Chain A
Amino acid sequence: MYVASNAYWLPKAGNSDEEYEDAFCIESEPVAHRTFFRCAVADGETETSFSGLWAAMLVRAYCCSPQDGPNLHDELPRLQADWREQVGRKPLPWYAEQKALQGAFAALLGLTVMAGAAGEVGGRWETLAVGDSCLFHVRGAEVIGAFPLDHAEAFSNRPVLRSSNDGGNGELAEHRACAVGAWEPGDTFYLMTDALAHWFLTRIERGHTLRPLPSRLEQSEFAGWIADLRRVGELRNDDVTLLRVHVT
């Protein structure tokens, strides 16, 4: 299995790069004949503080989990303790202290791609989602799978997210979604945080033809494209993250 991957990101228009609260993690350099590949995106909720930190911790934890099955759930208490420790390192004013007590929230989407057995063409993939970041499985010019949301109207202002507080994850069990499938050589996976995923699903629903993302797209070209979409009102002004994973 050969995996080529790219990551693109942009903060909200008007915000600095330091204020970007999405996060992504992607395995390092492309390696030929790999048997296993992981990547993830997360979207820290705007109205919580230290959510960028929480998002970054979640994607790292997903990508670093052992090959015999990501069990992020078991890792949560340790991650939550780490988050509290990092947030509490310096004295905070009253509001930062109270805000931190409310915890940070983030959507998480992870993708694992596995090579097939010897002699098998293609292989398996599996994904884990909490919240409204979305995975699209594309074959040729066709989207053959969208997960966990598959139509634009399914996005709401209040997705269930993963919390850095113990008490904030009560509803998670019923909202944590997993899926598995098979990939064929030449397939591409796109992982998108919510604003871009919403735009993408809307385009599909309106019957627009899908054009593949250029394999050598530069970050600056991506930034220009996103800025144009925001300017014409097609894309909500939100942090944007896109991962492209091409498997052969």
Chain B
Amino acid sequence: MSYEAEISRVNPACLLFLVDQSGSMEDDWSGEPGKKKADGLATIINRLLQNLVLKCAKSEGIRDYYHVGVIGYGGNVGPAFSGELSGRDLVPISEIANAPARIEERTRKVDDGVGGLVDQTVKFPVWFDATASGGTPMRAALSCAEGILTAWISQHADGFPPIVINITDGESTDGDPTQAAGAVTSLATTDGQALLFNVHLSEQRAEPIQFPDGEAGLPDQYAKLLFRMSSPLPPSMQGVARQEGFEVGEGARGFAFNADMVSVIQFLDIGTRPSNLR
């Protein structure tokens, strides 16, 4: 059986995010007037990194259950961490925990216990800053991922297969990414092939499509292309998706189309949960 390897400090999981930083990411997210897609996505990625750190935080410190990387693609293609981690691709989660570029203070509304809401100041570590320029060199980003994962797998041949999550708002501008995507998913550990999940961010108000199990309901050729590039969800993630209330078929793929902010958060939560964390 594939996708059952235990995640441990000896066999950590690898999470690699490919983040579209093209000029169109300056535009507002559908349904979020005044909120640029680049800014919203940076907040989501930073929050996700924070959650992964917290998941690995134990009484004695951080356990390196994950190695995480963020590759940006737009005017440039390459590692996108800010601050001390700048230029690094896959970084053990303990190093990420101890090296945010900065810790901001943000406010959030919390229950005041008597039926109202009050502002609460929370620490918000930032590792990744929003930028937006140039085209959408998705093919180059996938090739970059292939190189990073090839090196990682040579060191972790029996681990849970790497998970790559590509988040984009537009079509590839450096050619058909199908072959580059296939090169990523043909990489494998003894526990299965690398997983490539794709998230398309919405530009217009439209119902998000999440975890489809066929092309039939997809609106255009571009959506079908991304669907075909996406890996099937392993059974454990199908289970998590069902627990979260999604109707997920057996052939469901790790793909979201026309995703709004909430859908992206849900998608990343499900797509970054390999089973068997020790």
Measured CB to CB, the residues of A under 8 A from B are 12, 14-15, 18-19, 46-47, 49-50, 52-53, 93-96, 98-99, 102, 158, 237
Contacts and interface: CB of A to CB of B under 8 A. Distances in A.
A12 B9 CA distance: 12
B9 A49 contact: no
Interface string B40-75: 000000000010011101111110000000000000
A194 B62 CA distance: 25
14 contacts: A12-B278, A14-B278, A15-B278, A46-B278, A93-B97, A93-B98, A94-B103, A94-B125, A95-B57, A95-B62, A96-B57, A98-B57, A99-B57, A237-B6
Contacts of A237: 6, 276, 278
Given A14-B8, A14-B10, A158-B243, A95 B53 contact: yes
B102 to A, nearest CB: 12
A107 to B, nearest CB: 17
Given A14-B10, A49-B59, A102 B243 contact: no
Given A14-B9, A94-B123, A52 B59 contact: yes
Q: Which of A12, A50, A52, A98 has the most CB of B within 10 A?
A: A98
B277 interface: yes
Nearest to A94: B123
A95 B277 contact: no
B10 A53 contact: no
A167 to B, nearest CB: 9
Contacts of A94: 103, 123, 125
Interface residues of B, number: 23
A16 to B, nearest CB: 10
A120 to B, nearest CB: 47
Given A12-B278, A158-B243, A98 B123 contact: yes
Contacts of A18: 60
Interface of B: 6, 8-10, 50, 53-55, 57-62, 97-98, 103, 123, 125, 243, 276-278
A158 B242 CA distance: 13
Contacts of A46: 277-278
B54 A98 contact: yes
Nearest to A167: B111
B271 to A, nearest CB: 17
Contacts of A47: 55, 277
B50 to A, nearest CB: 8
A15 B277 CA distance: 13
Nearest to A52: B59
B62 A53 contact: no
Contacts of B9: 14
A50 B125 CA distance: 22
B236 to A, nearest CB: 9
Given A47-B277, A237-B278, A95 B97 contact: yes
Identify the 5 closest CB pairs spanning chains A and B, nearest first.
A99-B57, A95-B57, A50-B59, A95-B53, A49-B58
A214 B63 CA distance: 37
Q: Which of B54, B55, B98, B276 has the most CB of A within 10 A?
A: B54
A52 B58 CA distance: 10
A96 B97 CA distance: 10
Contacts of B8: 14
B54 A99 contact: yes
Contacts of A102: 54
Contacts of B57: 49, 95-96, 98-99
A95 B60 CA distance: 12
A199 B60 CA distance: 30
Nearest to B100: A94
Contacts of B278: 12, 14-15, 46, 237
